[in-house]
Each structure stands twice: as C-alpha cells, then as structure tokens.
Amino acid sequence: MFWRLMKPADLDAVHAIADRIHPDHPEDLDVLAERQRLFPPGCQVLECDGLLLGYAISHPWEFGRPPALNTKLERLPADPTTYYLHDVAIAADGRGSGRAAQAVDRLVGVAAAIGLHNVSLVAVNGSQGFWEKHGFVPTPLAGLATKLSSYGGGAVFMVREIGEPARRSRVGKADGI
Ligand SMILES: CC(C)(COP(=O)(O)OP(=O)(O)OC[C@H]1O[C@@H](n2cnc3c(N)ncnc32)[C@H](O)[C@@H]1OP(=O)(O)O)[C@@H](O)C(=O)NCCC(=O)NCCS
C-alpha cells in the first residue's frame, strides 16, 4: 500500500470513494478534478494492488477562508497564506495502518516546500481527535461560524503551524523519533 500523486485517470475512483465516505457532503467530480488540475502535488491517492483505497486533496489558499464544500476554486491565490487540507479519506478496509498519518506528513512537506508557514483545515466526521494527534489546534475565527455550518454539525477549523512536531505519529513511532 503506498501513496502516489493522483492522475486524471484516478478521478472516477476517487469520486466513488468520496461518495461512500462522505454521503452527507457529496462533491461533484468536476470539483475534485479542478483541485487536481490546479495543484497536482497536493492531490495524492493510496494504492493497493492496483486499487485505490484512499485519497488526499490539498492546495495553497487564503488563511481563514475555507472554501465552501462542492464549490470550484476557479484559481489559486497569487499570495497564499495557508496550505489548505481539503480532505484526507481512507476506505474502511485501508484504515488503521498509519497511512493517513503518512499522508499528513507528505502534505505538510509539500506546504513547507512551497514556503507556507501553516496548514489549515475544517475537521468533519468527528475527525478532530485525529487531527489533534497530528499537531492541529482548534482555532475559532470571527465570522467563520456560518460558513462552518455548511460542513455539518461539529465542524471545527484547525491550524498547524509548520515546524511544530505532531504530538504523536505512527510514522514517527516506527522511525523511533
Ligand atoms: C481520518 C482517517 C483518514 C484516519 O485514517 P486511519 O487509517 O484511521 O489513520 P491512521 O492509521 O494513519 O492513524 C490512526 C491513528 O489515528 C487515530 N484516529 C483515527 N481516526 C480518529 C478519530 N476520528 N479521532 C481520534 N483519533 C483517530 C487512531 O486511533 C490511530 O491512533 P494511534 O496511532 O495512536 O493508534 C479515516 O478515519 C477516514 O478516512 N475518515 C473518514 C474521512 C474523514 O473524515 N476525513 C477527515 C476529513 S476532515
């Protein structure tokens, strides 16, 4: 099982996984395809024996302005102020093996490589605890409450400053760090 860059040919499978994992927040194939086209390094898939088990979608963005769900970005900002994690999702039979932690490390690496100093996201599906394990901190921002309600109850805006180590990471544990 390994992460690799998402290709346009992966999009149908990615969309099918997204529909299964996020039945309450469906997103059009076009919306996912636009992310892949706008920022290929931020879009990755988890492959196992030729099948896709998960995906990660992320891109540079403006801090404190999470995009509405199922909405195209049109373009990336010329002067991004955050690296935005749109989604990391793994099908049930691929979970619990540290691959999501790996994806977070990879994407934080992409953010650092393009010179951004923080990574932000909206935690949904009760995933706040997962993100906290990876160094993300709930960060209430004035004016965000209404927008977050479109992500469903319990959605939380979270931020990780780049350079701060995650509290726990299975990858880190495995490496003896
Ligand atoms: C969140 C998700 C990607 C985690 O995948 P995973 O394969 O379980 O993650 P990993 O194996 O890398 O990490 C597992 C670790 O995270 C913890 N974890 C996983 N989901 C968690 C959650 N919802 N809350 C708290 N901790 C969680 C596990 O307990 C485990 O901890 P450990 O290393 O101390 O044993 C997966 O549950 C998923 O796809 N969820 C649905 C999509 C989703 O909600 N994504 C987030 C959108 S913001």
For ligand 1, mutation pick of 55, 120, 127, 132 (most atoms within 8 Å of CB): 127
71 CB-side CA count, 13 A: 8
93 three-class SS:
helix
Residue 81 Cβ contacting ligand 1 at under 6 Å: no
Q: Closest ligand 1 atom to the C-alpha of 173?
A: 33
Tell me, what's the pLDDT at 164?
Answer: 57
pLDDT band at 167; cut points 50, 70, 90? low
Tell me, what's the pLDDT at 96?
Answer: 93
Structural domains in the chain (count): 1
* Phi, psi angles (nearest 5°) of residue 9: -65, -15
CA 96 remoteness from chain centre: 17
- Looking at per-residue pLDDT, the higher value among 167 and 149 belongs to 149
- Whose tokens are 């996984």? That residue is 17
C-alpha 28 – ligand 1 centre gap (Å): 24
pLDDT digits (tens, 9 = 90+) for 93-110: 999 999 999 999 999 999
pLDDT for residue 168 is more than 70: no
CATH code where residue 102 lies: 3.40.630.30
CA pair distance 89, 101, nearest whole angstrom: 11
pLDDT digits (tens, 9 = 90+) for 53-77: 999 999 999 999 999 999 999 999 9
Tell me, what's the pLDDT at 172?
Answer: 37
Least confident range of 74-88, 118-132, 143-157: 143-157
Tell me, what's the pLDDT at 173?
Answer: 38
Are residues 39 and 79 in contact, defined by beta-carbon separation less than 8 angstroms? Answer: no
pLDDT for residue 177 is more than 70: no
Tell me, what's the pLDDT at 175?
Answer: 31
Residue 98 Cβ contacting ligand 1 at under 6 Å: yes
Residue 23 Cβ contacting ligand 1 at under 6 Å: no
What's this model's pTM, rounded to 2 decimal places? 0.92
Tell me, what's the pLDDT at 152?
Answer: 80
Residue range of the domain that includes 90: 2-174
Q: Closest ligand 1 atom to the C-alpha of 121?
A: 48
Both tokens of residue 110?
């992409």
Alpha-helical runs (H) found in 39-166: 99-113, 128-133, 145-149
Residue 130 Cβ contacting ligand 1 at under 6 Å: yes
